[in-house]
Amino acid sequence: MFTIKKIFHISYGHQLFGYRGKCANLHGHNARIEVVIKAEKLNAQDMVMDFTVLGARVKKWLDANLDHKVLLSSKDPLLKTLQAKGQKCFVTEASPTAEVLARLIFEALKKQHLPVKKVSFQETETSTASYKE
């Protein structure tokens, strides 16, 4: 099996509703996201996929949904307040942890029919979560 990996960066704010610790407070991150795409064989250009095409498709989704947004659980009472003030929010059913975000991105790319193998979501320089099926 062949794989390629493309790296993306986003900035976002979030808080972990119901969490006991400093991440219960609204705060921000500059995340590094790694997307790994797989193929059993190479295409006509001897590639798994063109990096430019992959980059454009993933970046379009990240820009529209997560980048420079506040990510909040649907259960978080702050959500309605921020939305009423015009803040762009991305709503998750679960708490917007790195683990949840890695899975969310994986599933969004799969819906775009990308042969995604793994998504890693690096919240800080020392903390990364990954999701793969």
Query: How many residues are recorded in the chain?
Result: 133
Catalytic (active site) residue 68: yes
Catalytic (active site) residue 89: no
Catalytic (active site) residue 99: no
In the sheet that holds 27-39, the strands lie side by side as: 89-92, 69-73, 2-14, 27-39, 116-124, 127-131
From the candidates 9, 27, 68, 107, give the one annotated as an active-site residue: 68
Give the three-state DSSP class for 123.
Answer: strand
In one-letter notation, the amino acid at residue 43 is N
> Which DSSP state fits 106?
H
Q: Could you give the CA distance from residue 71 to residue 15 in angstroms, rounded to a whole number? A: 7
From the candidates 14, 27, 34, 123, give the one annotated as an active-site residue: 123
From the candidates 23, 29, 89, 99, give the one annotated as an active-site residue: 23
Q: Which residues belong to the active site? A: 23, 68, 123
